[in-house]
Amino acid sequence: FLWLSPSLSHYTNCFVLFDGGFGGGDAAAVVVSSSMAAPQGQTPATWFHGLALYWYGDIFKSHILGCPCVMISSPDAAKIVLVTKAHLFKPTYPPSKEKMIGPEAIFFHQGPYHSRLKKLVQASFLPSAIRGSVSEIEQIVLKFLPAWENTTLNTLQEMKRYAFDVAMISAFGHKQDKEINGIKQLYQCLEKGYNSMPLDLPGTPFNKAMKARKLLNETLRRLIKERRENEKQGGGGLLGVLLGDKNQKVDQLSDSQIADNVIGVIFAAHDTTASVLTWLLKYLHDNENLLEAVTREQEGVRREIIEANRRLMWDDTRHMPLTTR
């Protein structure tokens, strides 16, 4: 689910090819200057990308992630990495990303531990697990609609807001613990520094993000302890699945392992989902006939819900063959 685009607005959406080392003359100076003084109206990422393309082209070497790497942003180069020569590349993360998400997250492991976590994560997203969340997700959408009416939106950012709230349900279930709002705020602070230069100096975005990560870990540990003590299979969501793992009595997941994987799934779930939703909306906009057909289908479902005086349910998705296709 890595997505390439000619924009570095999210560096995880670019392919980074790591090497043992490079000489001088890379784009590191551009990164420092762009991080400190991007022109008004442009993000540091956009500013960096523009300068880097002007000076170095579509493929250039840099230390932007704190280690020697090659940055690519052209569709042709992306095709080589993703398709033509895919067997030569291995997905990985820079050390700074691993620190932020957590070293025990599923992304950074292989073997039995990875297989065990993969089964648990998949179990939390099965139809049987998300069936009861449909009405709650509908309420999230209804909450956003008034702010979207009669105004110009940044679609990706709005989809990120929506997908983040859905990801919180996927991670923690319906039970709204007193810690949840604090977790939301700390995670959002963490995310702001995720794509920053890994300079752990006071006042830098990376430093602020790492402080938020430490507090987030402490908050999650308290929540995990509370749910363990309640003995209600963790209260639902991925957290409930991890706490209710049948192997827990033999090989119990530690609090840090659970916390790292909850944070990792929130990151992966809301970020990639927002990208997919943005492209989905674009293609609907560009295909008027398809948009009209999907709209008619949704209006039909809406009439049934109004007539029955109820909220949206899982069974309603059976009446959305075009939408779900």
State yes or no: pLDDT of 2 exceeds 70: no
The H-or-E segment that residue 95 falls in is helix 95-101
What is the rounded (10 degree) CA torsion for 304, 309, 314, 319? Answer: 0
Given a cut of 60, whether residue 23 has pLDDT beyond it is no
**pLDDT tens per residue, range 54-101:** 677 777 777 766 677 788 878 888 888 888 888 888 777 778 888 889
Would you state the pLDDT for residue 232?
56
Provide the β-strand partners of residue 18.
Answer: 69
Can you tell me the distance from the alpha carbon of 245 to that of 249, in angstroms, rounded to the nearest whole number?
Answer: 9
Segment 280-293 mean pLDDT: 93
Helix (H) / strand (E) element for 217: namely: helix 205-230
Please report, rounded to a whole number, the percentage of residues in the chain having pLDDT higher than 70.
Answer: 78
Q: Is residue 233 pLDDT above 70, yes or no? A: no
289 pLDDT tier (thresholds 50, 70, 90): very high
Asked if 61 contacts 27 with a C-beta cutoff of 8 angstroms, the reply is yes
Check residue 52 and give its pLDDT. Answer: 65
For residues 133-152, give the mean pLDDT: 90
In this prediction, residue 175 has a pLDDT band, given cuts at 50, 70 and 90, of: low
Q: What is the mean pLDDT of residues 169-192?
A: 82
Average pLDDT, the chain: 79
Give the pLDDT score at 213. 93
Distance between CA 129 and CA 174 in Å, rounded?
Answer: 11
Both tokens of residue 111? Answer: 């073997």
- The answer, yes or no, to whether residue 131 has pLDDT greater than 70, is yes
pLDDT confidence bin for 123, thresholds 50/70/90? confident
The closest of 270, 257, 211, 212 to 103, measured between CA atoms, is 257
- Rounded to an integer, the average pLDDT of 268-288 is 89
End-to-end Cα distance, the chain = 19
State whether residue 254 is helix, strand or coil. Answer: coil
Question: What pLDDT score does 3 carry?
Answer: 32
Cα–Cα distance measured from residue 177 to residue 238, given in angstroms and rounded to the nearest whole number: 15
> Which has the minimum average pLDDT: 42-56, 97-111, 264-278?
42-56
Q: What is the model's pLDDT at position 176?
A: 63
Q: What's the average model confidence in pLDDT over 276-280?
A: 92
Is the per-residue pLDDT at 24 higher than 50?
A: no
pLDDT at 271: 79
- List domains and CATH numbers for the chain: 11-92 (no CATH), 99-286 (1.10.630.10)
Buried b (16+ CB within 10 A) or exposed e, 202-236: eebbbbbbbbbbebbbebbeebbeebeeeeeebbb
Give the pLDDT confidence score for residue 51 in this predicted structure. Answer: 66
Q: 76 φ, ψ to 5°?
A: -65, -45
DSSP 257-304: HHHHHHHHHHHHHHHHHHHHHHHHHHHHHH-HHHHHHHHHHHHHHHHH
